[in-house]
Structure 1
């Protein structure tokens, strides 16, 4: 799963990488957590001025997908990730896979290596691309409407089986969309879900590097650059318990919800 990530890139780099037309300078965010707003990219309605590439737009959505048919969000689990292997057919994600595919820009994501020994400590890692400052994860978006008519845009990150580099840490990783595939992934008008299924696969080995970091990332109140400082990797992990442990899929973190 992907339960924490960072976005540190400047607006000019994001605009160039994603061909955005409406992005102002975003703040550096070192510890983005579920239920917080995240920056996502959607397809625009026309070709970008002065370019042969389609226009794309940036917007903020709540990280925590909510299907439109949900009546009470308090009775529905927090869906921060969607499994690529089942998203096409799963009721929660079927409509979004067909109509609302998005990109989620990131500088990297955090993952934990959890030991088999319950008495050992977990090791946190910041997993970032070896080349370049930005990576784009595949995502899905849905607008949830409450009974009073208010609306909230929500999103989830698609995950797939980990490649060999990441498998020693965790068995899942975010789906990475290459720049040459951005247009095909975002094109929900002519590209059916089955036609982009080939993009939802593990990125090749060597794309990411894993930097061991401290367990500060487990607390949403830790939002400074110090959480990216490398630490000595734990050779014999110990169990991580208590408030510092990262949130599990379906578990709400200790922070305010938009609902």
Structure 2
């Protein structure tokens, strides 16, 4: 079977801006996008190599940036996605930020302060492992802020992302959509496999007990914040390989959409004496 086009993957995964959105109707297996797992592996390998070259072009140009936002429930595979999609990418021009619970210094400022401070500089690809969406997801579910305050944040986030897009940063958002059953399997793996034990946090089980609330919060955030300048993509994540392949397709597409060119400094070899 042929590898699906970038346009086909985008159409299958995007949450259309301004239209009703039902997260429960979204597939978590990924077979609708990549029917064959071997095909997904081939696609991922090819795209990872191209992403590296395009990243170098972005860095050489030094005028624009790409921000990749990864959100998902625990075990959905945020760090695994970064490792696989950017497996061929050299560190130069790459920035990765993992957002944890805010520090006292961050809490003393508005919730977007620490996020804006981590936006990739021009010429760089930035990756957010979690993001400002925590402030309308976990904050909403766990009631860390008054509901009326959280309600204001959706439009604030839209304005923030529009500001970024109008100032040279392409915003690419992915919700890693893992199924409830698959999450249970992966959480159990973390307890049983020594090399994964460090990832286990009892809080993850508390979040799991609030699964329905989190899904409602995700559905609301996606519906309100999927915009023309920064649409949401819902990525089936029960299969790690299919998840990674789909995201690689769209990262490659975003970079290709910038129509990047190698910077010409106007230097001629004949102008220099190489001895």
Range of TM-score over shorter length: under 0.3
Which gives a bigger RCO, structure 1 or 2 (Cα 8 Å, sep 6+)? 2
Greater share of strand residues, 1 or 2? Answer: 1
TM score, norm. by length of structure 1: 0.24
Greater share of helix residues, 1 or 2? Answer: 2
TM score, norm. by length of structure 2: 0.23
Larger radius of gyration: 2
